[in-house]
Structure 1
Amino acid sequence: MKIVYPKDYSSASIQELLDAADSDVLFLGDPHANIEPGPRMLDRMAQVIRETGAGWIYADAAGHPRIDYQSGSIRDGFDFGPVVGVSVDAARHSGIDNSWKWGGLYDLRLRISEKYAIIRIPEPLYSASTIDARPTDQKQFDYVDPRNRDYQIEMEQIATAHLKRI
């Protein structure tokens, strides 16, 4: 087991990683973060996903606890942290819409959430630092930047499709 990093978050990139998965759990890392896995991170995350039948799993980072995922949450910017575990079986059963340029991972998460649990492990299993050095207030308003308009429209289309399915 290892962490793999998508070249981008398009449907094609996510599907490529799922097709190449050599385990029942796919660990996806954020390419914009430096992740230092703890000694038992992958084993612990895989154990929980297997024992619970969850489709998506995430954990706390050292010094940075996450919040619990709420059923029905559709926010595309939910902070799962820079590494998540995805059940390959759940991902394949949930499907993926191959048309998304930026929202492949978001679409997959919403599709998985329709049939499987998304679980937070409240244990610090890794440490991480972000590579994006922009001030928080600048990142916070990325969604209103006109250059991100097409991205935002795609995220809204994914959310709308999800709401229609449920």
Structure 2
Amino acid sequence: MQHYLPELLALQGSHGRLIAAAGMRPASEGPLFLERYLDEPLESAVSRVTGASPDRNCMVEVGNLASLSAGSARIMIIAVTWLLAMRGLEWVAFTGAATLFNSFRRLGLVPTVLASADPARLQGQLDQWGTYYDQRPQVFAGNIGFGFDALKQAGMFERLGFPMLALETGHAA
């Protein structure tokens, strides 16, 4: 992998062993890697598909996810959702294949598909990605507040020992 997001997160198991990692980049910092797959800026794609009017300053790309197991990936999804909500961000976008989508679905979360991740848009960088594109990845987006509320209702944060601050995620229907 030659492209890393600027903020890397590590998740350690009970014995201090690294079990998952992910990266993040706020959309306010400039173009996102996944926007290479879109015909428009991320906020426009989210607006077109969801009908919402997201502010780019409240959006984030998450990527570089690696985990030892599907269970570790789900714990990382929970941790990242909690962290993004605590930061006051509203929309998350990421690129992933069916295995990642299934991890979200097992948590009761259903991210919205924005586009296919067409490898032809990488302009000569395809050889750096191995067999990733054989999995037909897609670009997804999700409302962080809805995800946070769903995970909270399911008791995920409490079960994993996340501190619950007086946080109102506040979103309009």
Same fold (TM over 0.5): no
Alignment TM-score, normalising by the size of structure 1: 0.29
Alignment TM-score, normalising by the size of structure 2: 0.28
Q: Which structure is richer in relative contact order (CA contacts within 8 A, separation 6 or more)?
A: 1
